[in-house]
Amino acid sequence: AQKRFSNGRWSTDVTAVVPLAEAMARVPAELAKPNGKVFIRP
C-alpha cells in the first residue's frame, strides 16, 4: 500500500505535516482534531 501513496496512485487529505523532531509534542493534538490524519516528515 505504501508504494501506491509514494507513486501518487493514492492520496489522502492530512490535517498536518509534522517534522519528525516535533512529532512527540505535536501529533497527539493533531490526531484529536476531526478527521485528524498526520504525515510525519522525516
Q: pLDDT by residue (tens digit) across 5-37? A: 677 777 778 889 999 999 999 999 999 999 889
Helices and strands per DSSP (H, E), number in the chain: 2, 2
In the prediction, which pLDDT does 32 show? Answer: 93
pTM of the complete model: 0.67
